[in-house]
A and B are shown apart, each in its own frame.
Chain A
Amino acid sequence: MRAAALSPGLADPVADAQGCFRAVLDAMSRPGSVRRVPADVRPPAPLVPAAAAVLLTLADAATPVWTDAGPDAAAWLAFHAGCPLATSPEDAAFVLACGSPPSLGVLVQGTDEEPHRSATLIAQVAALEAGSGGWRLRGPGIEAEHRLRVSGLPSDFTARWGANRAAFPRGVDLVLCAGREVAALPRTTAIEEG
């Protein structure tokens, strides 16, 4: 194992996991709102702190993780989260994309009877900005409309997201991470380009 694999995980595993979980729960409950993860974590590149903290909070031996982040980052995640590494995104409970995310349709969708058995996509993006400009979001968790500007996703992402949403109750849920910030879109959220 290289030195990068040994850099520390969550400084206070119990308190940091609780704080990170609440940030993600709040983000998922109010799609388009941006939250800061409270954990001080310094993962190896190209992982950003928010994505690393979310995975250390939610992943474990029961949840295979696939990532395009390269061997150092993958080894760091496997070591600190205790999660198996999936060899392809189709087999993962959590898919961490640092580059262009894999097609949503190939990820685990769940079934009509067990739609909760679906993958969560954690996508690292360049920047997240809530409040004005960018996507117009509607759906559960949103009183009227939330605005979220996301920099760094492929231009056809909203079309792909529309197909994901149309498969409800099956479908993938999305967590967006930039630096220490996190936003989330459950499969119920409708995106309209701003």
Chain B
Amino acid sequence: MSAAPQDAAGGGTLAGYNFAYLDEDTKRMIRRALLKAVAIPGHQVPFGSREMPLPYGWGTGGIQVTASVIGPDDTLKVIDQGADDTTNAVSIRRFFGRVAGVATTERTAEATVIQTRHRIPETPLREGQILVYQVPMPEPLFRLEPRVAETRRLHALGDYGLMHVKLYEDIARRGEVTISYNYPVMVNGRYLMSPSPIPAFDNPKMDRMPALQLFGAGREKRIYAVPPYTAVRSLDFEDHPFRPNRADAACALCGSRDSYLDEVVTDDRGGRRFLCSDTDYCERRRAEQ
């Protein structure tokens, strides 16, 4: 599996491919789906996903969305769990550098398009930026209702009782909602949506975000979107309000007490420390100190 991205992005193997890899018919189909997704915030629009030179799980849905959106004037940032320097992020960035010739950056503030897996940057996004999420499972109800036709009917009715019951059972059994990733949200008060496996800590950043948020699920062949300044509310109950969790610690490198932290094992004697998951945010803070 690790060889595939290198093979795909390496050498001259992509010579002769269209700009941004996808053919124009596929881009046009994805672009139509994106416009309808923006017009119906939180609704999953099916699309004819194409085989990409990367395995599913490497973000083929996000890559197809990015490929349909990106142009020569864009600056692309790619993050994986908050980091710009993982194999996945580097492969995708190199892929677009090669097939689209776009400028790339690790700085959130400089990017016009940011493709992400599992995080929202700490630096607040602004108008005109586009955040593209890689989504493994777009259907927020899939663990509660395995029949796809039935989930479609529930979305049509706006009937999300199943999810409320699940959260309520969590509270009854454990005293709190135990979902720490992929915490379900209501978009514009109408559609239940999976925010992708971001930490619940990131959910509040989606609410009325000035940037456009696009979601691509390659294996499940779904696209959805949240337009700028759109209400995104994490499901909760009046007596059990949503509370995003964060390790009660400061980043060992920059001292931040606001950012989302990863716990990192530092030596073979079990030593641990907490570091910002957002590497760009952490570096910017250290540079300013």
A25-B69, A141-B228, A141-B230 given as contacts; is B35 within 8 A of A14 (CB)?
A: no
Establish whether residues B229 and A15, one from each chain, have CB atoms under 8 Å apart when the complex forms. Answer: no
How far apart are the CA atoms of A166 and B73 in the complex, in Å?
38
Q: Is B190 an interface residue (CB 8 A)?
A: yes
Between-chain CB contacts (< 8 Å), 22 pairs:
A14-B19, A17-B27, A18-B20, A21-B69, A28-B227, A29-B227, A30-B228, A57-B31, A60-B28, A62-B29, A115-B43, A116-B36, A140-B188, A141-B227, A141-B229, A141-B230, A142-B229, A143-B208, A143-B228, A169-B43, A173-B36, A187-B40
Chain B residues engaging chain A, CB cutoff 8 angstroms: 18-20, 24-25, 27-29, 31-41, 43, 45, 68-72, 127-128, 152-153, 155-157, 188, 190, 208, 210, 212, 226-230
Known: A25-B31, A143-B208, A186-B40. 19 other contacts (CB 8 A): A21-B31, A25-B34, A25-B38, A26-B128, A28-B35, A29-B38, A57-B28, A58-B35, A63-B32, A113-B152, A113-B153, A115-B40, A118-B36, A140-B226, A140-B229, A143-B228, A173-B35, A186-B39, A188-B39
Closest to B70 in A: A18
Tell me, in angstroms, the Cα distance from A29 to B36 when the chains sit together: 11
Contact of B39 with A58 in the complex, beta carbons under 8 Å: no
From residue 92 to 137 of chain A, which have CB atoms closer than 8 A to chain B?
111-113, 115-116, 118, 120
B24 near A116 with CB under 8 A, answer no
Query: Which 6 interchain pairs have the tightest Cβ spacing?
Result: A186-B39, A116-B36, A112-B156, A141-B227, A140-B230, A140-B227
How far does the alpha carbon of A26 sit from the alpha carbon of B130 in the complex, in Å? Answer: 10
